[in-house]
Amino acid sequence: MKNIAAIGSGSWGVALALQLNKNGHHVKIWSYSQEEADLINQKHACMFLPNITIPNEIICYTNFEDTMKEAEIVLIVTPSNAIRSTLEKLKPFTNENQIFVLCSKGMEPDTLMIFTDVIKEVLPHVHVAALSGPSHAEEVSEFAPTAVVVASEEEQVMDELQEIFMSDCFRVYTNSDLTGVEVGGSLKNIIALACGISIGMGYGDNAIAALITRGLLEISRIGVGMGAKQETFYGLTGLGDLFVTCSSKHSRNRKCGVLLGQGKSLEEAKKEV
């Protein structure tokens, strides 16, 4: 059994906590919101996942010290715009034996750095990995069959995380191409927005197929230019994640695009999503 801290109480943080709890690990969640923490601790519910019940042994805290106490694995599941500031606040509670797993997708807006590089910059003493792939929280939280990728430059870290996360419904593959895994998980959102806009404007499947196919090529070219391996983009964290984000009813980026295509303003679309 591992002691695991999930830094973020949104749908993805809770979904991963449920998976790890099911695998017999001890999981704590950190939330910036006392309201969300009370909902988890008192009603065993998540406002973003109405169909699930959170087991009693998963506790949510609003301070980093209690959340990080004895943590061996730390999942970073905060919104991408808060990752660097959150890492800075976590620094006093870290040690060289911990594995930090990036579970959020995106790039740092100001620097265009992938977030595992941000972790390395802020916390150079910890081990670093990323978890990504086609994995909507709504399905993961209900233990629907899902396949993801754990990426790290350290083979021992990948093997350990694969064993920790793997279950009969959550299959974990490994990949040492951190850049490719993160770029695929970030840039697919742009193509999903485009697909949503196309749907909102009333275009058909031909346009969607073109956007996905040509979009994947553009993503792979950018990724290779950043030092990634081209084959990474034809796996779960490239094609797989692109497909699910462009086609699923759970995709917020796709939904936002649909609303834009229907003529709503960006602010109206963001508010509705």
One pLDDT digit (tens) per residue for the chain, 273 residues? 999 999 999 999 999 999 999 999 999 999 999 999 999 999 999 999 999 999 999 999 999 999 999 999 999 999 989 999 999 999 999 999 999 999 999 999 889 999 999 999 999 999 999 999 999 999 999 999 999 999 999 999 999 999 999 999 999 999 999 999 999 999 999 999 999 999 999 999 999 999 999 999 999 999 999 999 999 999 999 999 999 999 998 899 999 999 999 999 999 999 998
Instruction: With H, G, I as helix, E, B as strand and everything else as coil, classify residue 212.
Output: helix
Q: How far is CA 182 from CA 104, 109, 145, in A?
A: 9, 14, 22
Q: What angle do CA 8, 11, 16 make, to 5 degrees?
A: 75
How many CB atoms lie under 10 A from the CB of residue 227?
A: 11
Structure confidence at residue 119 (pLDDT) = 98
CA dihedral defined by 20, 25, 31, 34, rounded to 10 degrees?
120
Integer Cα distance of 51 and 62 in angstroms: 24
Sign of CA dihedral 108, 160, 184, 247: negative
Surface-to-core class of residue 166, CB atoms within 10 Å of its CB (0-12 exposed, 13-18 middle, 19+ buried): middle
The residue annotated as part of the active site, out of 188, 264, 270, 271, is 188
Integer Cα distance of 202 and 15 in angstroms: 34
What one-letter code names the amino acid at 142?
A: E
89 is catalytic: no
Integer Cα distance of 147 and 154 in angstroms: 21
Structure confidence at residue 250 (pLDDT) = 87
pTM of the model: 0.94
DSSP 217-268: HHHHHHHHHTT--GGGGGSIIIIIHHHHHHH-TT-HHHHHHHHHHTT--HHH
